[in-house]
C-alpha cells in the first residue's frame, strides 16, 4: 500500500537530480527509474550527475536534527520524483527506535546510530541495531519501503537476484519479506557463512524469499548475478532487479549516518573528523566519500581491510588488481572476503574527473584482467584531495583488538569492527576525533569472539535458539544457467 502523505517539516523534497552511468552510456534518468535496477545498461554504475552541496550554515542547522529529519534533509537532495511528504513518511516509518533496537531498551536508541566514546577522541558508531544485527539494515530497511512504494505506484513487480557473503542477504530478505510485488532470490556461497548468518537467512519461511546456496565462493555468486543482468532478454522477461551493494538507493541511505556521526563527535561544526570503515565491496566507505564531497568536513576516510587486502593495496600503491579465487582467503571477518570491490568504480569516476571514457578504459583492464595502475599523481590525489588512506588487519590482529577493546573499554566488538579498530590504531592522529563504524554485532561471529575472550557474546533474547529453527535452501552449482532455470521455474509456476 502506498504510504499516506504526512505533514513534512521541510517544504520541498523535489530536486532536479538526474543519474548517469560511470561509463557514459546512459541518458540521464530519475531516482525511481534507477532505484529498481542493478548495473547501468552499459555495464557501468549509476551515479548522481553532481553532488548536492551543503554550506557551513546548512550544516549548523542540520546538526540539531534528529535522525529522521536529518535523513530526509540528506536523501531528499537525491530524489527528484517522490513527493516530499511521501518521502518523509517513508523515512519516518523506517528509522524508528523499534526497528533499530536489537531487543535493547535504552534512551540512546532514539539516536538510531548511537555513538559511544571508547576514550577521549575515539568513538564507535553503532550501526548494527537493526533486525539482522549488521549495518546493512541501515540502508536495506529504507530500500524495502521505497521498493514497495514505487512498485505499488507503478503497478510493477520485481524479482531481486542478489549475491551475498553473509550480511547483505539477510538484510535484504528481512527488508523485503512479505512485501507485495517483490520476490528475492539470494545466492550465497554454500557452507561459507557463519552458522548464525546461515540460520538468519535460511530460517525465513516467507513465500517470496528463496535462498540459493551455490557450491563455490562469493565471487562466483557475484559473477552469476552479473551474467544474469547481462542477459537482457531474461532480465526483461523476469523483471530482474538488484539490491546488492551497487544499488544507488543503498549508497544514498548510508550517506546519512556519516552526517549523524560527524555531528555527534565534532566539537564545532567545521572541525575535521576521521572515519574508519571496515570495507569489502566499498559501498559503506563510498557513502562516506559522497558525504565528504557534499561538504561534510571529513578529514580522512580510512579503508580498513582484512587479509583480502585488494583495497589496501589500491590505496597504498594505486594498483587495482582484483584477485583470483585461489588468492582469496576465508577469514574470520567473512563479510569482507572479496576479491574485487564493486563500488570502487564510483570513486574512481570522481578521481578521474568524471571522465567516462577514461573510466571505461580502466574497467576494460579490470574486466579483461589483470587490472590497472594509476599514475603516481592520481595515486597521491586519492590521499591528498579525497582523504583516503587504508589499513589491513589479520586474524591475529582481530583477536588482539577484540580482547583489547573488551578489557580496556568494556565493549564487545565483532570481527569486522575489530578490523576497523586495528585501522584506527594504525592511523589515528592526536587532536582529531576518530569514529570507527561498527558493522555488525559480535553475536553474529561467536566462534572468533569466543577464541578471543573465552566466552560467548551476549545474545539478544529474540535470537536465542536461532540455529535450531528449521532451515530452507536450494543447493545449486556455480552456473548461471542453473540459477536462471530455477528463477524461471518459480515465476512461471
Ligand X SMILES: *Cc1c(COP(=O)(O)O)cnc(C)c1O
Catalytic site positions = 136
Among 68, 63, 39, residue whose Cα is nearest residue 161:
39
Long-range contacts of 427-430 (CB under 8 A, 24+ apart): 427/274, 427/276, 427/300, 427/302, 427/389, 427/391, 428/121, 428/122, 428/274, 429/274, 430/121
Nearest approach in angstroms of CB 108 to ligand X is: 21
Taking the least distance from each CB to ligand X, the nearer of 75 and 440 is 440
Q: How far is the CB of 371 from ligand X (least distance, A)?
A: 18
Burial (CB < 10 A; 0-12, 13-18, 19+), residue 140, is buried
**CB-neighbour burial class of residue 205 (10 A; exposed 0-12, middle 13-18, buried 19+):** exposed
CA distance 338 to 392: 14
Phi/psi region, residue 130 (left: phi>0; alpha: psi -120 to 50; beta: rest), is: beta
Nearest approach, Cβ of residue 75 and ligand X (Å): 18
Q: Which CB atom, from 8 or from 308, has the smaller least distance to ligand X?
A: 308
DSSP string, 318-373: SEE-PPPGGGPPP-SSGGG--SS-TTHHHHHHHHTTT-HHHHHHHHHHHHHSS-EE
Which residue's CB is nearer to ligand X, number 88 or number 444? 444
Nearer to ligand X, 159 or 284 (CB): 284
Q: Count the alpha carbons within 13 Å of 189 in the hemisphere toward its beta carbon.
A: 19
Least separation in angstroms between residue 57's CB and ligand X is 31
Q: Which residues of 433-472 are buried (b: 16+ CB within 10 A; e: fewer)?
A: bbbbbbbbbbbbbbebbebbbeeebebeeebeeeeeeeee
**Closer of 86 and 137 to ligand X (Cβ):** 137
The per-residue b/e assignment along 301-317, b for 16 or more CB within 10 angstroms, e otherwise, is bbbbbbbbbbbbbbbbe
DSSP bridge pairs for 475: 213
Among 255, 308, 183, 242, smallest CA distance to 45 is for: 242
Residues counted in the chain? 493
Q: Is 232 helix (H, G, I), strand (E, B) or coil?
A: helix
Upstream peptide bond of 370 is cis (omega within 30 degrees of 0): yes
Residue whose CB is less far from ligand X, 240 or 336: 336
Residue 247 vs 279, nearer CB to ligand X: 279
Instruction: Please say which residue, 301 or 483, places its beta carbon nearer to ligand X.
Output: 301
Cα 378 to Cα 385: distance, rounded to the nearest angstrom: 10
Residue 335 CB, shortest distance to ligand X, in Å, is 3
Residues that bind ligand X (CB under 6 A): 134, 136, 167, 245, 278-284, 335-336, 416, 439-440
65, three cell numbers = 536534527
Q: Give CA angle at 275 (269, 279), nearest 5°.
A: 150
Q: Cell digits for 168?
A: 547483505
Amino acid at each position: 500500500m502506498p504510504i499516506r502523505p504526512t505533514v513534512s517539516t521541510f517544504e520541498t523534497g523535489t530536486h532536479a537530480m538526474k543519474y548517469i552511468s560511470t561509463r557514459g552510456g546512459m541518458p540521464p534518468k530519475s531516482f525511481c527509474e534507477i532505484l529498481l535496477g542493478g548495473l547501468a545498461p552499459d555495464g557501468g554504475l549509476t551515479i548522481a550527475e553532481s553532488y548536492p552541496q551543503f554550506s557551513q550554515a546548512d550544516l549548523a542547522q542540520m546538526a540539531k536534527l534528529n535522525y529522521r529529519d536529518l535523513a530526509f534533509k540528506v536523501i531528499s537532495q537525491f530524489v527528484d520524483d517522490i513527493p516530499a511528504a511521501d518521502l518523509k513518511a517513508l523515512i519516518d516509518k523506517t528509522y524508528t527506535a523499534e526497528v533499530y533496537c536489537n531487543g535493547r531498551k535504552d534512551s540512546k536508541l532514539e539516536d538510531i546510530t548511537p555513538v559511544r566514546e571508547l576514550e577521549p577522541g575515539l568513538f564507535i558508531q553503532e550501526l548494527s541495531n537493526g533486525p539482522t544485527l549488521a549495518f546493512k539494515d541501515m540502508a536495506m530497511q529504507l530500500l524495502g519501503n521505497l521498493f514497495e512504494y514505487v512498485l505499488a505506484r507503478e503497478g510493477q513487480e520485481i524479482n531481486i537476484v542478489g549475491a551475498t557473503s553473509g550480511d547483505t542477504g539477510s538484510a535484504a530478505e528481512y527488508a523485503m519479506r512479505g512485501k507485495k510485488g517483490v520476490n528475492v532470490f539470494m545466492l550465497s556461497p554454500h557452507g561459507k557463512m557463519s552458522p548464525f548468518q546461515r540460520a538468519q537467512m535460511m530460517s525465513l519461511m516467507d513465500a517470496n524469499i528463496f535462498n540459493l546456496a551455490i557450491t563455490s565462493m562469493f565471487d562466483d555468486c557475484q559473477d552469476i548475478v552479473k551474467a544474469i543482468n547481462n542477459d537482457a532478454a531474461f532480465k526483461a522477461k523476469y523483471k530482474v532487479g538488484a539490491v546488492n551493494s551497487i544499488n544507488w538507493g543503498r549508497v544514498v541511505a548510508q550517506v546519512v549516518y556519516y552526517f549523524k556521526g560527524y555531528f555527534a563527535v565534532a566539537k564545532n561544526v567545521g572541525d575535521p573528523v576521521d572515519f574508519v570503515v571496515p570495507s569489502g565491496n566499498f559501498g559503506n566507505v563510498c557513502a562516506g566519500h559522497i558525504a565528504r564531497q557534499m561538504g561534510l568536513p571529513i578529514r580522512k576516510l580510512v579503508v580498513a581491510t582484512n587479509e583480502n587486502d585488494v583495497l589496501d593495496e589500491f590505496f597504498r600503491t594505486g594498483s587495482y588488481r582484483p584477485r583470483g579465487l585461489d588468492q582469496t582467503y576465508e577469514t574470520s571477518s567473512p563479510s569482507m572476503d572479496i576479491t574485487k570491490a564493486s563500488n570502487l568504480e564510483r570513486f574512481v569516476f570522481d578521481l578521474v574527473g568524471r571522465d567516462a571514457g577514461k573510466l571505461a578504459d580502466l574497467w576494460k583492464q579490470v574486466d579483461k584482467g589483470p587490472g590497472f595502475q594509476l599514475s603516481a599523481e592520481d595515486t597521491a590525489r586519492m590521499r591528498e584531495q579525497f582523504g583516503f588512506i587504508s589499513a589491513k588487519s589479520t586474524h591475529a590482529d582481530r583477536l588482539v583488538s577484540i580482547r583489547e577493546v573488551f578489557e580496556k573499554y568494556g565493549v564487545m566488538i565483532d570481527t569486522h569492527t575489530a578490523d576497523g579498530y586495528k585501522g584506527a590504531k594504525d592511523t589515528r592522529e592526536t587532536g582529531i576525533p576518530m569514529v570507527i563504524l561498527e558493522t555488525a554485532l559480535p553475536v553474529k561471529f561467536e566462534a572468533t569472539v569466543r577464541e578471543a575472550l573465552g566466552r560467548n557474546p551476549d545474545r539478544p533474547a529474540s535470537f536465542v535458539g536461532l540455529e535450531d529453527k528449521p532451515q530452507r535452501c536450494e543447493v545449486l552449482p556455480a552456473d548461471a544457467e542453473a540459477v536462471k532455470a530455477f528463477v524461471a521455474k518459480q515465476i512461471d509456476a
